[in-house]
Every structure is written in C-alpha cells, then in structure tokens.
Structure 1
Amino acid sequence: MIFPRKKLIAIDIDMGSYQDFIYRLVGLASYRTSSYTCVANVHMLVEAYKNKDFAKVVNQADVITPDGMPIAKGMNLIYGVQQDRVAGMTLLPDLLHASLKHDLSVFFYGGTAEMLYQTEKYCKKTLPGLKIAGVYSPPFRPLTAAEETEIIDRINASGAHFVFVALGCPKQEKWMASMKGRINACMVGIGGSLPVMIGMQKRAPDWMQRNSLEWLFRLTQEPKRLFKRYAITNHTFLYLLFRTYAKQGFKKKPLQVDLKNT
C-alpha cells in the first residue's frame, strides 16, 4: 500500500485517518512483517532535531504516527492538513482489541516485572481471549550478545504478531531499529502508554487532551522527572515551529506529499 508522509521540522510524519493507521498496523502484524512504528510526540521530534543519527532511526520507521496534539496542530499550521492525532495511549488499547478480533498474539517488551505482571492481569480481565505470546522485562544495562540472541529467538518462537515496546524514548526507537529484520513481528513503541492503560497512572481529562495540555497533566504527576524535559522541549518545539512557519512567509506550504511503500 502507498501512504503519504510529510516532514515536520525533523520527523517525516505519516498522514491519514486514525483508522488508516489501525488498518495499516494490523496488516503488518497479520503477516508478521518485521517492522517498527514510532509514535512521535514533541519530545521525540526535538530529540531527532538535536541528533541526526536518531532522526535517521525515526525516519526509517515503517510507520510514524502523529502522537501529540502539538504534532497534529503543527501539520495544520505548516501544511493546512487536518490530521488526526494518533496517540499511543489510544492506539495501544485499540490495537489490543484489534488483536483479539483478528486472533493475533502480542508480546510486551520493557517495563518492570511488576508492570508486566499487572499488564497480564489487566488483559486477562478486560480482554479475555487475547493471546499473550510473552512478556520480558530487560535488565537496566545493555544486553550481552548472547542475551540479545536469546530474546530474539524467544520472541520469534512465540509466534507474536505485535511486539509492544515500553523502553521510553529514544531507547525504544533505537532498539526497534536494531531489531528490524531480526524480529518477525510488527514492533510498536508505546512509551508511557502502558502504565496509563493498566491504571498505574492516570490520563489527562479530554479537555486537556484537546487543547494540547496533556503534558501539563503528566507534569503534575511526575514533576521531578518531567520538569526539565518539558521546560526545554516544549519551548524548543514552539521556536522551531514558528521559525519554520516564518521561513515560508507565514503561509501554508503546498502539500506535495512524499509517498512511502509499506
């Protein structure tokens, strides 16, 4: 299939409706296509802007979704596109429901052992019949070559269609890129979506989501960890977006999309 993709500052964002993304990812998973999906938010975009090697990792992904509302609104400002937000916190549960519907098995990679235990418990309660191919909580250090081979073999032997990766940005994107062609599944970087889905953390109210204030809600939950990130990344994003808009004369750029075969 052919899908349009357009650059926003440093990341090539895929465009389409929310359901287009669900259909695309389920298709990749159904055939156990070795692929990876980056769920792009402001943090990821700024990291990609600062680091060309990381930008390459993200832009070589098979699918790049516009996660944060600022990303979706940025596409509208620069290109005049009314792009759906494809947020990880919505995408993850919807892909699990789709997996149940289409008899696809899922594997969870990353997070603590307690989080993965709660994930299995949550899935058994809310999605009875969902096939969980396995879970794995990696150590807080680089895997040895032998350990890496072992986990690759374990995931492939499990028959998993989806591998949901919860290592956080940019670690999960780098890991998925290194696993493409080695893990036979559709890998999706879900970041902080997993603890929210299983109830370990709360999600922002709808009105905050609609008004690009979800970051503020998360900040109130984890101020020590997130203050520096948001203070820097949010201001950097706004500056880069304004600069891009100014360079094109404060006008919408003609939408001549690049096409990506997936």
Structure 2
Amino acid sequence: MSTLPPISTVSVIGLPVAVTTYADAIDWIKAAARKADQAYAVEAANTHVASLSRHDKDFGEAMARFDLICPDGMPLVWSVNRQLPAPDQLTDRVYGPTLMLKSIEATQGEPDLKHFLFGGKESTLEKLQLRFSEDFPETSIAGAYSPPFGEWPEDEFDRICQKIRQSGANLVWVGLGCPKQEHWIAKHKDKLPPAVYFGIGAAFAFHAGEVKQAPAWVQKYGMEWLYRLCAEPRRLFKRYFTYNSLFVWYSLKEKVLKRADSRQ
C-alpha cells in the first residue's frame, strides 16, 4: 500500500495547520483518494475554524480527527510564517473554494478519481453539476445528494453512505455549513465509505453563482471577512466579531506564553 506524501504542520492557537500549497495539497488528496483504505478528512481552516476549535471542546475534538488542515485564511498564513524560516514560508493561502476548483480541474482525464457533492439545496447542486460539466468536461462528477432540511430521519446516514458507495466516488465535497459539516465528518469518519471528505462550507454557493466572492485583492490582504460582512451583516456580524476577536486574543496569549517560556 502506497504512503501519503508527507506534509509538515505548525500549531496555530492549537490547530495543526499544514505548511502546504495548492499543488502539494492536491497531490496529497489524490494519493489519499487512490489509497482507498479509509475515510480521510480535509479542512480549509479560517480564523472562525481555528478559534472555534480552541474555544469549543467538542469542535476541537472533531477537528482533531481531520487528516489535513489547510490554511484558508491569510491570518493563518501569517501565523504559520511567523514560526518558519524565510525560505520555508508560504506565499499564499489554500482557499477552500479555490482548492475545490483546482482539485476538480486536476482530476480531468483521470477516471479512477470521481467526485460526489453532498449538501446544499437541489437547485444549488444542479447549478454546480452544470458548471463543472461545462468547465471540466473530462472530470467525473459521479453523484450529488441534497439531504432533507431540518432534522434527518434515523436511516439518513445509511442512505448517504449507500449513495456514495453506488457512485464509486472517492472525493466527497461536504457542504453542510460550519460547524455542522466538520462534526458530521468527524462523528462518522470510521463508518463512512473510503474516500477523501472535504468540509467545504460556502464553496457550493460561490461556485453555483448564488453568493459573490470577494475580489482577489481583498482576499490577498486578509479582508474577505469584511467584504462578506458588508454583504450579509445580520447573519455574519456575531460570528466575525466573536471569532476574529478570539483569534486575536488566543494569538496574543500564545505569543506572551512563548516569550515567558523562552526567558526561563
């Protein structure tokens, strides 16, 4: 059985963030999908994910089950780079929606790598499948499933697993929203069909054209949260205020503790 490409990690307020690029992450993802010996969990983590994993014990335990945590937000990239020598520092983040597109593009003409879209509304999934079939005609989108709204019936997990198995997919994009998707992947990881499972959040809505992404220059300077806050202030104000503040607090606390340890 082949081994997975090694990727080093750096702790960012307790979260093991991968020191990786899009290309290296995709190499790891493709190798894990082909290994097909278990369910692997991949996350593109921003400040919300990092802060919540530190602040909420249950979510922290869920994230501990993930195999690859990419630096989605620029503040995480900056935190990683502060701990690395200049030659090893990252020059860009691994943004979840872009990782999804690049992964789908990278599997064109590779019939052993098949994608499954899980989560979101039926209409959203239809838009996604149409877009991907037009943009990446040689990539296999093997299936898609929109789960029931609200509380799921008792046999829903078995139904989901059956659909994934029947599709033959080994790359499963889970768009249930954070933190639901991370809890779902972590809780069921040992029972899920062998594949790579991605907690992908808002990527479905972005790629379906239902929500506009921030301009590239806004993303580069780590201000995407402000762009999205202006677009959806009622829904996002509490999240961004709370978890951005917590990220700053935990980062400063960690820095102070490291300085204290170095003086002893």
TM-score, with normalisation over the residues of structure 2? 0.89
Say whether the 8 Å CA contact 1:99–1:106 is kept in structure 2: no
1:82 equivalent in alignment to 2:92: no
Query: Aligned ranges for residues 188-207 of structure 1 at < 5 Å?
Result: 188-207=198-217
1:175 equivalent in alignment to 2:184: yes
Taking the aligned partners of 1:94 and 1:3, their CA distance within structure 2 comes to 19
Taking the aligned partners of 1:125 and 1:108, their CA distance within structure 2 comes to 16
- The runs of at least 4 consecutive aligned structure 1 residues that moved more than 4 Å come to 78-81
Query: Aligned ranges for residues 63-78 of structure 1 at < 5 Å?
Result: 63-78=68-83
Q: For the structure 1 residues 26 and 232, does the alpha-carbon distance in structure 2 shift closer, same or farther, using more than 3 Å as the test?
A: same
Taking the aligned partners of 1:196 and 1:164, their CA distance within structure 2 comes to 14
Match of 2:114 in 1: 105
Return 5+ residue gaps in structure 2 as ranges. Answer: none
1:237 equivalent in alignment to 2:247: yes
Which of 126, 132, 135 lines up with 2:144 in the alignment? Answer: 135
* Aligned residue type for 1:53: D
Greater RCO (Cα-Cα under 8 Å, separation 6 or more): 1
How many matched pairs? Answer: 252
Q: CA deviation at 1:164?
A: 0.3
In angstroms, what is the RMSD of aligned CA positions?
Answer: 1.9
Which of 8, 16, 21 lines up with 2:12 in the alignment? Answer: 8
**Identity of paired residues, percent?**
33
Q: CA deviation at 1:8?
A: 1.0
Which of 40, 49, 65 lines up with 1:44 in the alignment? Answer: 49
Taking the aligned partners of 2:30 and 2:12, their CA distance within structure 1 comes to 25
Q: Secondary structure at the match of 1:183?
A: coil
Say whether the 8 Å CA contact 1:78–1:251 is kept in structure 2: no
* Aligned residue type for 2:54: Y
Q: CA deviation at 1:122?
A: 0.9
TM-score, with normalisation over the residues of structure 1? 0.89
Say whether the 8 Å CA contact 1:78–1:245 is kept in structure 2: no
Instruction: Write out per-residue CA displacement over residues 126-165 of structure 1, whole angstroms, 9 at most, x where no aligned residue.
Output: 1123212111111233433322112101211210021000
